[in-house]
Chains A and B, each alone.
Chain A
Amino acid sequence: MAEVIRTATREAYGKALVELGAEDEKLLVLDADLAAATKTGMFKKAYPDRFIDCGIAEANMIGVAAGLATAGYTVFASSFAMFAAGRAFEQIRNTLAYPHLNVKIGATHAGVSVGEDGARHQCCEDIGLMRTIPGMTILNPADDVEARLAVLSAAKVQGPVYMRFGRLAVPRVFDENYRFEIGKGVYLNEGTDVTVIATGLLVERAIAAVELLKNEGISAALINMATIKPLDAEIVLDAARKTGCIVTAEEHNVIGGLGSAVCECVAGAYPVPVLRVGVEDTFGRSGPALELLEYYGLNAANIAAKAKQAIALKK
């Protein structure tokens, strides 16, 4: 068996920025004193004249990004998810999104897989916050292959994009044939009993869950949903019709994220049971990332258990 490649999506973000920098002279990258951690440091090294360190001042960084965007630059502004979506929420809402400016937010260190730094840095609310902003695009890639494609695609969008990356090295899920399109979910497995819709690092765990279910004679479909907004309603409703129940899986609060988006989608169009795997409306804690993912039930066993519950809820 080939060795599994493990790369953090933030690493892919840094590399993709360098790739973009070579193509586009008008691309600027901003950071708030976290270039080494967000991996924008790679861009800084390659294009020092187009890298602007705003210091530990995320609110101002978003405003500066907005001002630069009005002068024709494509701006990537980076920080940890907590300080980008959290601290600078209102700046993103009022100064980026309301004027629909061409700024991409590269938010790293999302979710509990931040690990030992603990709750204060583990943002499980960012998707919810960003999802309520009109016109915001939200991308949450599953591995380094998808993260690269997400960054390249985001650069082509006119308007604000929130990109969510992780600190933890995660197994590669996709190969070079993988096609990524903003706003499109992708079936990774066909099935008839239940559909698992997963995003981010839960995708790899959902693949394992599908195997667990298969061993028990349950046919589970699996959708990778890298774009949380605009949500691919077509594929969600297709899953609802075909399998009659859904389980969502994400490294985010069960309130406000992918699970909520899927519930909202099916509730008004084709109501089916939806069970959500995610952080159960609680704060994170310190610990090794992989242990924390188990601690919070962000694993294949929990997805499989929820799948069986969902099937039981079907009429």
Chain B
Amino acid sequence: MLEQAEKKRLALTACNVRKGIIEGVFNAKSGHPGGSLSIVELLTYLYEKEMNVDPADPKKEDRDRFVLSKGHAAPALYAILAEKGYFPKEDLKTLRKTDSYLQGHPNMNYVPGVDMSTGSLGQGVSAAVGMAMAAHLKGGAFRVYTVLGDGELEEGQVWEAAMFAGAKHLNELTVFVDNNNLQIDGTVEEVNSPYPIGEKFAAFGFHVIEIDGHDYDAIESAVSAAKARTDRPTAVIMKTVKGKGVSYMENAVGWHGSAPNAEQYAKAMAELDAAWNELNA
């Protein structure tokens, strides 16, 4: 269990990350706020508490790797990387601009701290599996974390990757599924249900853990359990709320891929400021 002070620190950081997401998407006038907001607690935990990474040496050989397989959640990744000091937070406002290094989907050659270029669904997880294979060949030199959307599970390549990771016993790999239940055309059940998700990963040879993806204690215990496994990869199925933290975006499918207008932007920032102040009170 995390101490209260630590949880508060993480929650404050998460608040800043959410503001970074809104700032980026608002200035870009496009982007994907819903699925960015749903993975903020996970990214905050991984980067603040868990991963062996160094913003001053983004390519250090033994660093833990993070692959945003759901690459459209780039605003969240950029926001946590900026919080960590990989690049100036001010640059988040350049998201998706022609001359910016912060592309709509992450490019590992442009952005310090990005370990893999992603954004075509199903492909990031394969690259993460390859990284885990590398860690395996190097005697467990580092760990690899990747986040998939629940809609992304409809891509067949996810299961090719899962079969390989299970068959090769890649215990260095932890796959998180952002199970916010929404994709562009509706709920995941309406479109092409990936359920039951946990059973599927278990059948592919994964240790499966189901948690509330906004609960730091649950994330911590899942990550610890994953690290304790020496025989197989772990899949953490996170129940999350798409749009989490901005009232009008929560569980609203329309906020998958659209940007707030000036009025909506002001409301979102006011809500996040209020949340920050409440935490700090």
Contacts and interface: CB of A to CB of B under 8 A. Distances in A.
Interface string B100-142: 0000000111000001110110111111111111110010000
B161 interface: yes
Contacts of B127: 63-64, 66-67, 70, 95
A90 interface: yes
Interface stretch (A2-10, A54-62, A142-150, A209-217): A54-62
A59 B61 contact: no
Contact of B164 (A62, A64, A71, A100): A64
B187 interface: no
A249 B48 CA distance: 59
Contact of A60 (B61, B120, B160): B160
Contacts of A63: 123-127, 129-130, 157, 161
21 contacts: A52-B133, A55-B167, A59-B160, A60-B126, A60-B160, A60-B161, A64-B161, A67-B126, A67-B130, A67-B131, A68-B133, A69-B130, A71-B135, A72-B61, A73-B134, A91-B157, A94-B123, A95-B116, A95-B120, A98-B107, A99-B117
- Among B117, B128, B167, the most chain A Cβ lie within 10 Å of the Cβ of B117
A306 to B, nearest CB: 41
Size bracket, chain B contacts: 20 to 34
Nearest to B168: A52
Q: Tell me the interface secondary structure of chain A in the complex.
A: helix
B228 to A, nearest CB: 23
A98 B117 CA distance: 8
A264 to B, nearest CB: 27
A35 to B, nearest CB: 16
Interface residues of A, number: 25
Contacts of A64: 126-127, 129-130, 133, 161, 164
Contacts of A67: 67, 116, 126-134
A68 B126 contact: no
B218 interface: no
A181 B61 CA distance: 33
Nearest to B110: A99
B163 to A, nearest CB: 7
A95 B134 CA distance: 17
Interface string B216-238: 00000000000000000000000
Contacts of B130: 63-70
Contact of A54 (B120, B138, B164): B164
